[in-house]
Every structure is written in C-alpha cells, then in structure tokens.
Amino acid sequence: MFSEPEWPPPARRAAEALRRLVEADEVGGGLEAGSIRVGAAPGRVNLLGGHTDYNEGYVLPVAVNRYVACAVLETVPEGGGEDDASSLEFYGLDFDDRFTIELTRLGDLRADGEAFERLVGGQQYRWRRYVAGVVLEMDEAGMALPASQAVITGDVPIGSGLSSSAALEAAVYTALAPAGPATVEAALLCQRAENRWAGVPCGIMDQFASFMAQEGRVLFLDCRRLTYKNVRLPGGSAITVVDSGIRRELADGEYRKRRQEIESALGILRKVVGPLQSLRDLTPEVFAEVEDMLPLRLRRRVEHVVGAIARVPRGITHLALGEDGEFGKLLNECHRSLADLYDVSTAELDTIVSAASEVEGVLGARLTGAGFGGCCVVLHREGCEDELRSAVTAAFEAKFSPTLSFYHLHTASGARLLGGKETVQ
Ligand code: GLA
C-alpha cells in the first residue's frame, strides 16, 4: 500500500507502522476515517562553511537521501464533542517511546518550564524535545494543530553531524502543516524550536537545508540575509560520508563554548574597529590589522570564521567556472582551519580526511556538521568508491579500533509531504 518507489524507506515504514497501530485499534476510540500523510525531511552534509552560520556568514550544504519521516493521521477526540480533550500522540519508532501532548495545554507548557520537563521526561528521550518544541512553536505562531496520531522514524544517523535533529523538526512541521509550503519562516520556526526547547544554540544552516535544498545542487545560503541560490554540483561527482562511529551531542558544552568565545572576541573587536554586528562584518583585511588585539585562542577562532566565510563565495566561483579540483581543495582547507584554528576536529576525523584525500578521484574531504566526532564528507568522482573505502579503512584501522561505516549518498530535495490519499476505515 505504501510501496511507492519514490517514497524514502522511513516514509514507508512510518506510514505502515501507523496503519498497523490503527488497524490494531491501539490508538484508542474515536478514530475518524482519514488519510495518512507523511512529512519526510532530509539530513545534510556541509561542503563549505563551518561554524559560519551563527556568525551571519555563508554556508554551502547539500541535502542527502537520508530522511526522518513523520506519518500523521488526524483523529477526533473521544466523545467527539468540542469540550472533549484532543491531543497529539507521537510514537518514536526508533526509540520505542511514545508521548502525548494535550492540545489544550500548549500555553501552559510554554509558560511552565517544569511542566515541559515532565512532558519530555528529562534527557533520556531527547527526540521528544525536538518534536514538542516544533509543536509549541507552531502553536505560538498561530498555526492550527489538528488532533492526531503520529509515528516517527528515520535513517539519518543520530549525533553524527548529518543533522538528524533538523530533519526531525522539518518532518514534524511538514506533516502537521500540510497547507504550509517549505518557507524561510518554517526553517526559522524549527531553529527556534531547537534553540528554545532542546537547548541547542544552533545556527540556521541545518533547518534551512532540510527545507530548501534541491536535488543535484548545493545550497549557497547567506545566513545574514537568508537569501539563497541552488548551485549545480560538479558533473560526475558523488558524495561518500565516512562515519567515525564517535557520537557527539550538540547540547554538550563545546558548541556553546565556541559561541561564547565568538561573543568575547566581538566584545574586544568592537572597541577597536567600531560597530560590528557579527564577524560577517570583519573582512580578512581588517582582521589582519587588528588581530594582535585578541588573545591567542580568540584570535584563532576569529581567523577560522573570517577565512571560512570568505571561502564560500570563492567556492561558488570555482563551481561556476567548472574548476572542480580547485573547489575540492577548499573542502580540505576548511577542514584544516576547523581542526587547527577552531579545535573541533578529532584525531579520527583527521585520519579519515587525510587518507581520503590521497585517493585518486577524490576532489576534497572535510568533517561535516559541528565536529567533535561524527562524520566526514568526501566529494569525489564517481567510480572510486571501492578504493576510497579500502584506503580509508586501512589508515584508520592502523590507529583506531572502532569500525567505520561508509554511506554512498545522493543529493536530495528539501522536506516534502507525501500521501494524504490513503483511507483508513
Ligand atoms: C551544527 C549546527 C549548525 C552549524 C554547524 C557548524 O550542525 O546545528 O547550525 O553551526 O553545527 O557549521
């Protein structure tokens, strides 16, 4: 029934699981015959830009064909009357965990931090925070939320730098707001959900990519103006993601610490350079004049950001001129800067990047996402996958014990709504 070949596997799994729940009548009384619809949203890798989004700079992510899917069936409250409580019930298939949000309590949940904490049940089930956060933000934005039963599942590796959290937010949003097309506002709403309710001070890159990316293209996003262009990737190129197996958590201190360091640096720089809204306003030339004012650690942080922002338009020029090799080199430059100046790489990620870069046909490699573990992205010519796998595995196993995973991925378009015609009787 949900076997449309173009549906990503998690979308089929979520819809099938929801249908089974309904058929088993596990969802309780009062189910209205209705249509299952599925919001499916992709993860992403970032080719250029790293920790540049919250500095109002540029980023260059690509959405990939790993998805989170949220299947939804609207329900009618028991008794069917207007006064009967209606709710949104979410089942997280991958966590075998479910929770219910009473729609009449959304205002209370927003106002009362403890009530929110009770709902999401501490840190054990972090997926609940992202889902509940999107629901609360949609309600605050005045969007109508239908009483529903929902099942969520995904195949974006969690905590690995492929942005499973933004894919989760975008999938939930898309499933619950079928009339709402993917918009910049939707991306901002999901970012707010993550900042406020999951406690992660992320920038806008991941949510924007999960909504607005286009298959076959990289998303050239200006994180200050929120304007973007979808730019063609080098012809005949392919993406392999190498997962170091080391998991990280963005809510951990290091990401937040980088943001605080940038704020401290801005405080010092403003006294010397005058008004600076963000590091976007600091050109490499002005930085060269004033860098000595900063203590060493902050100087290295700022040097990374200023260089990483400037690298993105250079990359776009190389792509436009068909200079694929030059474009690829910028990925490696970005990795070096993230490792040496921003201190967000690990010995494992460095080993993967340098081994991959030696392989013929590889255009460039770098860590993806925030760093501190997770994955590297390798941009390469089609056909060198086997060689890449054996070279990287050999170099890695000579030094480290965890097993690597290789994902050969395709580019994908942003969040979409599927189905809506299946009738559950
Ligand atoms: C995480 C955040 C993004 C961005 C990257 C680093 O993925 O969610 O906003 O800051 O790290 O580029």
Predicted local distance difference test score (pLDDT) of residue 75 = 86
pLDDT, mean of residues 31-40:
74
Strand partners, 378: 240, 365
pLDDT of residue 250: 56
- 85 falls in which pLDDT band (50, 70, 90)? low
Residues in the chain, how many?
A: 425
The per-residue pLDDT for range 280-297, each reduced to its tens digit, is 999 999 999 999 999 999
DSSP-derived letter for residue 198 is S
Distance in angstroms (rounded) separating the CA atoms of residues 100 and 103? 9
Domains of the chain: 4-49+58-233+413-423 (3.30.230.10), 237-409 (3.30.70.890)
Ligand 1 in reach of 61 Cβ (< 6 A) = no
- The residue nearest atom 8 of ligand 1, judged by CA position, is 202
Please identify which of the residues 53, 155, 206, 324 carries the catalytic annotation: 206
In the chain, pLDDT over 70 holds for what percent of residues?
Answer: 92
Tell me the per-residue pLDDT of 103-131, one tens digit each, with 9 for 90 and over: 999 999 999 999 999 999 877 899 999 99
Structure tokens at 223: 């994180």
Structure tokens at 315: 């990359």
Find the 202 Cα to ligand 1 centroid distance in Å: 6
Calculate the alpha carbon distances from 412 to 229, 309, 416 in Å: 15, 24, 11
Mean pLDDT of 216-238: 96
pLDDT level of residue 33 (50, 70, 90 thresholds):
very low
pLDDT 10s digits, 315-353: 999 999 999 999 999 999 999 999 999 999 999 999 999
DSSP E strand stretches across 127-236: 148-154, 217-222, 227-232
Q: Is 331 helix (H, G, I), strand (E, B) or coil?
A: helix
Mutation pick for ligand 1 pocket among 202, 278, 309, 335 (CB with most ligand atoms within 8 Å):
202
Distance 83 CA to ligand 1 centre (A): 43
Ligand 1 in reach of 369 Cβ (< 6 A): yes
77-81, 146-150, 224-228, 370-374: segment of lowest average pLDDT: 77-81
Token reading at 71: 């299947």
Q: What pLDDT score does 25 carry? A: 65
Residue recorded with tokens 């549906």: 7
d(CA 136, CA 140): 6
Tell me the pairing of strands 375-381 and 362-367: antiparallel
Model confidence pLDDT, tens digit, residues 140-172: 999 999 999 999 999 999 989 999 999 999 999
For residue 69, count CB atoms less than 10 angstroms from its CB and return exposed for 0-12, middle for 13-18, buried for 19 or more.
Answer: buried
The secondary structure of residue 97, as a DSSP letter, is E
What does the block give as tokens for 161? 């730098």
Handedness of CA 404, 409, 411, 417 (dihedral sign): negative
Active site residue 94: no
